[in-house]
Amino acid sequence: MRIFNNSPRLPRVAPVVCAAFLATLPVISAADEVTDSIKEATDAYEQGDHTSAIENLNYAVQLIQQQKGKALEALLPEAPDGWSAEEAESTAVGAAMFGGGVTAERRYTRGDSSISVQIVTDSPMLQGMMALFTNPMFAASNGGKMEKVAGQKVISSYDSSKQGGDYKIAVANRFLVTVTGDKVSKEDMETFVKGIDFDAMEKS
C-alpha cells in the first residue's frame, strides 16, 4: 500500500536566513552593548549608585560616538585617479576632553604630494569656526578668503608659492570638513572637495 504525503514541502531557506543573521551580528552586538550599558546605568541609579550610573552612561555614549565615527568614515572620498588612499580612521573624544567630538580622517598620497580630508562633528569648538563662515572679515583676519567649490562655501588658505594650505567647509552647521594639502596644486585640492558627498553628510 502506497502512503501519500500531502504535507507541503518547505523551501530550503535556512542557509539564507543564517547568512543574513550572521551579517547583522556586528550591528546587533554593538546595539546590545549600548542598551546593556544603559540598562546597567538605570539599575545602578535605582539602587542609589550614582557613580556606576554615570560610568555606564558615559560608556554608552562612547560606543554611540564610535559608531558615528565609522559612519563618518564612509563619507570620506575615494582616491582619485593617480592617488593612493590610506585606511580611514575615526576617533571619539568624550566631553571631558575639549568638550568632546567625533572625527574621521583619511590621508591620500601621490608621489611626494599628500592631501588629508578630515570631518569633525559634535564638538562645541565648531561654533567658533562657524562664525568665520558668516562673516568674511573674520575669515580674512585669519589669512583665508571665501570661495565657492562644488556649491559649497569654502574658506581657502591655499598658498600657491608653497604649494599647500587648507580648505575649510561648514556643512549643515554640524560638520566641519578640512582638506589639507602639501606639494599640491589648487586644482588637486578642489578635486578632493568635489569628491565629498555633501548631500549624504547633510542627511546623516
Is 174 a residue whose pLDDT tops 70?
yes
Instruction: Write down the pLDDT at residue 34.
Output: 84
Is 45 a residue whose pLDDT tops 70?
yes
CA-to-CA distance for 73 and 47, rounded, in angstroms? 39
Residue 157 makes CB contacts below 8 A (sequence gap 6+) with 142, 143, 144, 165, 166, 167, 168
Confidence tier at 175 by pLDDT (50, 70, 90)? very high
Please state the rounded mean pLDDT for residues 42-70. Answer: 85
Question: 77-203, what's its fold?
Answer: Protein Transport Mog1p; Chain A (3.40.1000)
Instruction: Write down the pLDDT at residue 5.
Output: 47
**Threshold 0.85, pTM exceeds:** no
Which cell numbers hold the place of 93?
573624544
Is 204 a residue whose pLDDT tops 80?
no
Confidence tier at 30 by pLDDT (50, 70, 90)? low
Residue 170, Cα to own-chain centre: how many angstroms? 14
CA-to-CA distance for 95 and 103, rounded, in angstroms? 13
Instruction: Write down the pLDDT at residue 21.
Output: 35
Instruction: Write down the pLDDT at residue 198.
Output: 92
37 vs 198, higher pLDDT: 198
Closest listed residue to residue 115, CA positions, set 202, 195, 200:
195
Sorted by where each begins, the domain ranges of the chain are: 14-71, 77-203
Tell me what the pLDDT averaged over the chain comes to: 80
Closest listed residue to residue 43, CA positions, set 55, 61, 26:
55
